[in-house]
Structure 1
Amino acid sequence: MHKTLDRLLYWSTGVMAAMALFSIMWLTVIDVIGRKFFDNSVPGGLELTEMLMVVVIFAAMPLVSWRGEHVVFDTLDALIPDWLRSIQARVIHLICAGTFAFLGRLMVMRAERFAEYGDTTVHLAMSIAPVAWLMAGLLMLTGLAHLLLVFVRAPTSGHVPVEAQGAST
């Protein structure tokens, strides 16, 4: 299950974030060349960059959460017994699951409002609602990843305990 879900998240949200970041890179290159040599920037370039940044950030969250690659405060870990650390991790994942689900619900309400009012970007007049729906879905998916982590251990972890760091050097 771990490897299957890890691959699924990698090939969906991970690739989505990578493609958005790659698009930002090329948009920036084209925009700079256009301004430097043709005195003309990409119309709506800032709006496109903003939307793509939303995709980069929100698409990366489920994969980062599932793999445990987020920022970890571990100063007190050496003082906490393993059995308590396991309980602590499950409680933290449960809190994160609830928080992301709540934020996802708020974003659903916001997306509905954007769609109802027909809100668009200023320059390109692109609808904002689909971006908000994507954000809501990715927040919910991140919450689901944390909920699964309440019941199973993370497949891989970016967190390396201090003891292991000293042993490897």
Structure 2
Amino acid sequence: MTFSAWLAAHYEEKGPVAWLAFFLELIAALTLFFLMMLTCADVFGRYFLGNAVDGATELTEMGIAILVFAEMPVITWRGGQVVVDILDRWMSNTVLKVLGLISAFLISTSLYFLAERILYLADRSFRREEVTEYLQWPVGYIIEYVAIMSWVTAGAMITYGVYRQLVLSKD
């Protein structure tokens, strides 16, 4: 079985969206594996060697940021957010579609402006030359990553989220 066939069989998304989903999930999986190995090494070093991994807390914080924001676009375009559908059975499908489109617009707009603000904070971090406490790594790169992934999530919501509402939803 070729990789393309495997991807088509295991991902509901089609075309480049499936490749992007796989790539983002690969980043998340590798980050999670790194966090697991870091935790094991830190615990082993702390209890058996008397010396913990230097900067393990900072690496864990950065790893969690990478993990969460790599999965955000995938969860968004799959519609994996928490949805309260108490009133859905009393509303028509047309009203539900309109509400879904309004929701997609509000979420994507909010994420766009949030990313703008986060990018401003990353720029400020670079100007001030802020670094992590122990490892002395520049903080701005992680903040930029969060902004970029927020933009990707906003784009995913406004494109594929709207596509799901208009094309994939059942009447």
Q: Which interval holds the TM-score relative to the shorter structure?
A: 0.7 to 0.9
AA in 1 matched with 2:73: P
Structure 2 contact 115–147 (Cα < 8 Å) conserved? yes
Q: TM-score, normalised by structure 1?
A: 0.87
Aligned residue pair count: 156
Name the TM-score, length of structure 2 as normaliser: 0.86
1:114 aligns with 2:125: yes
**In structure 2, what residue type is equivalent to 1:18?**
A
Structure 1 runs, 4 residues or longer, greater than 4 Å off = 154-157
Q: Structure 2: 5+ residue runs without aligned partners?
A: 1-12
Paired with 1:77 and 1:53, the residues of 2 have a C-alpha distance of 35
Post-superposition Cα deviations, 1:109-162, rounded to whole Å, max 9, x if no partner, equal: 0110111111000000000111011100000000001111454116989xxxxx
Cα gap change, 1:70/1:151 in structure 2, threshold over 3 Å: closer, same or farther? closer
Kindly indicate whether structure 1 or structure 2 has the higher relative contact order, using CA contacts under 8 Å at least 6 residues apart.
1
Alpha carbon RMSD of aligned pairs, Å?
1.8
Q: Which segments of 5 or more consecutive residues in structure 1 lack a partner in the other structure? A: 158-169
* Contact kept in structure 2, 1:13 and 1:59, CA below 8 Å: yes
- Alpha-carbon distance, 1:12 to partner: 2.4
Whole-angstrom distance in 2 between the partners of 1:101 and 1:5: 22
Match of 1:13 among 17, 24, 38: 24
Query: Partner of 1:160 in structure 2?
Result: none
